[in-house]
A = this chain, B = another copy of it.
Amino acid sequence: MVTAFAPATVANLNCGFDVLGMAIAAPGDEVSVWFNDANTVRIVEITGDEGRLSYLPEKNTATGGMLTLLQHVDCQRGVDVRIAKKMPFGSGLGSSAASAVAGVMALNRLLGSPLSKKQLVSFALDGEVIASGSRHADNVAPSMLGGIVLIRGYNPLDMIELPAPENLFCVAVYPKVEILTKEARNILPKEIPLQTAITQTGNLAGLVSALYTQDFSLLERSMTDLFAEPYRAPLIPHFHQLRQLALARQALAFGISGSGPGMFALTLTHHAAEAVSFTLQQFLQDQQIPCMTFVSTINRSGAVIVS
Contacts and interface: CB of A to CB of B under 8 A. Distances in A.
How big is the A interface, by class? Answer: 35 or more
Interface string A255-291: 0000000000000000000000000000000000000
Given A191-B194, A193-B190, A202 B162 contact: no
Interface in A142-195: 150-153, 158, 160, 162, 188-194
Contacts of A151: 202
B199 A201 contact: no
Given A153-B221, A160-B209, A160-B218, A192 B197 contact: yes
B198 A18 contact: yes
A15 B56 CA distance: 44
Most chain B CB neighbours (cut-off 10 Å) among A20, A150, A201, A221: A201
Copies of this protein in the assembly total 2
A122 interface: no
A141 interface: no
A148 to B, nearest CB: 11
A227 interface: yes
B198 A189 contact: no
B218 A152 contact: yes
A148 B53 CA distance: 50
A200 to B, nearest CB: 6
Given A152-B218, A158-B206, A221-B153, A197 B200 contact: yes
Contacts of A193: 190-192
A19 B198 contact: yes
Contacts of A197: 192, 196-197, 200-201, 227
Given A201-B204, A202-B151, A206-B160, A192 B189 contact: no
A209 B162 contact: yes
Contacts of A152: 202-203, 205-206, 218, 221-222
A17 interface: yes
A153 B203 contact: yes
A151 B218 CA distance: 12
Nearest to A20: B205
A65 interface: no
Contacts of A207: 205
A125 interface: no
Contacts of A227: 194, 197-198
Interface of A: 15-20, 150-153, 158, 160, 162, 188-194, 196-209, 212, 218, 221-222, 227
Q: 8 tightest A-B contacts by CB? A: A197-B197, A152-B206, A19-B202, A212-B212, A208-B208, A191-B191, A18-B198, A152-B202
